[in-house]
Amino acid sequence: MRKYLFGTGLIGAFTSGLSMLKAMREGEPFTWRTALAWLSWAITAALAVGAIVDIRRAGTGHLAPTDSPVAGHEKKYLKEHLEK
């Protein structure tokens, strides 16, 4: 579980979300740029969670979708999972 929680994608999404929350608390006006930043953060967080789901599924023997960065490497993740 630790390898999922401390993945670089989740850490990056978490820290960028914190910096945007800090800017909101300091009284920055909500503009279209702020809305795009929040949209970008949501997409980044969704992609990070999706990658974790794909790695988890590949580690249990399921095939990853073809658009996933894990696609084609399922045997590697299954082997790592079975070694534990």
Helix axes 32-59 and 74-83, enclosed angle (nearest 10): 60
Q: What letter does residue 68 receive in the DSSP assignment?
A: S
Q: Which of 14-23, 25-34, 46-55, 57-66 is predicted with the least confidence, judged by mean pLDDT?
A: 57-66
Provide the residue ranges of all domains of the chain, joining segments of one domain with +: 2-83
Name the packing angle between helices 32-59 and 8-25 (round to 10°): 160
Question: What pLDDT does residue 69 have?
Answer: 73
Give Cα 39 to chain centroid, integer Å.
Answer: 14
Does residue 12 have a pLDDT over 90? no
**pLDDT, average across residues 60-73:** 74
**Residue 27 above 90 pLDDT?**
no
d(CA 67, CA 53): 13
> What integer is the mean pLDDT of 47-67?
79
CB contact at 8 A, 30 and 16: no
